[in-house]
Amino acid sequence: MDQKIEMEVFRYRPDQEDQPTFQTYEVPVQEDWVILDALNYIKDDIDGSLSFRWSCRMGVCGSCGMMVNGVPTLTCASFLRTFLPGPVRIEPLANFPVIRDLIIEMGDFLDKLKHVTPWIVREEEKPVSEGEYLQTPEQLEAYKQYSMCINCMLCYAACPIYGLEPGFIGPAAIALAQRYNLDSRDQGNEQRLEALSQDEGIWQCTLVGECTEVCPKGVDPAGAIQRYKVASTTDWWTSLLLPWRNR
């Protein structure tokens, strides 16, 4: 293709400027180029000072998430030609502090992940000599959808609640908690439910559903949150009507 497109790229270099700006670059449009290819073209051939994260270029690592024309997007999975005639605006993911240019600070997200214990919890491990914990295809299917999360944080950038209430545990963390709750090998359900039933947990979600809309892997974080709400409500009513079951 012999076309070009203008890219308006968010720039913020705290060592040089107090406020962010936008810088416009003109890049060629190749048939097979994605947004990430265009950003790499800018860095390699136009402006080596541009900073952004990326790794696998295969929609697996989740590190190249950015706002593309205001929408949280994996830049390695979005073809540049679909934005013709342009311009296309590239910004860092919304709702996160910016370190430099398109690079966000994601420490808060990582802390929230740890809060939901995203690993298999066992009250007692069986001896290694007894072999692995086997699962049926049906048991795998129960949690497989939620295991597809790649921690790209697009859902956090799309979530208006996280934008207004940064303490909110957030969609991806809740979806990953659900992934382990539904795993037949796990015994940490009550531990996670207690953590997520707090003020900054599942009840802050108002079911806008944008998290599910932008998820590149079809995880459906909104669905995970609603399932968690049902489980929490059931647990509360059970404790009220059948208190001896908690003894």
Each residue's pLDDT tens digit, 222-238: 988 888 788 767 765 56
Strand partners, 8: 24, 89
117-to-60, 136, 186, 192 alpha-carbon distances in Å: 22, 24, 11, 7
Mean pLDDT of the chain: 91
Instruction: Yes or no: say if 65 and 93 are a contact pair by the CB < 8 Å rule.
Output: yes
CATH architecture observed for domain 3-104: Roll (3.10)
Helices (H), 62-136: 107-115
> In this prediction, what percent of the chain has a pLDDT beyond 90?
75
Amino acid at 128: V
Give the pLDDT confidence score for residue 75 in this predicted structure: 97
State the SS3 of 206-228. CCCCHHHHHCCCCCCHHHHHHHH
Residue carrying the six token digits 């489980």? 231
- What is the pTM assigned to this prediction? 0.89
The whole-number average pLDDT for the span 177-196 is: 91
Residues of the chain with CATH 1.10.1060.10: 107-246
The CA-based angle 152-216-95, given to 5 degrees, is 45
On the question of pLDDT at 196 being above 90, the answer is no
pLDDT at residue 224, as a whole number: 87
Joined together, the tokens standing for residue 232 give 């929490």
More confident residue, 194 or 165: 165
In this predicted structure, what is the pLDDT of residue 33? 96
Fold of 107-246: Fumarate Reductase Iron-sulfur Protein; Chain B, domain 2 (1.10.1060)
Encode pLDDT of 72-115 as tens digits.
999 999 999 999 998 999 999 999 999 999 999 999 999 999 99
Q: CATH 3.10.20.30 spans which residues of the chain?
A: 3-104
Q: At 190, is the pLDDT very low, low, confident or very high (cuts 50, 70, 90)? A: confident
C-alpha–C-alpha distance, residues 90 and 87, integer Å: 10
What pLDDT band is residue 239 in, cutting at 50, 70 and 90?
low
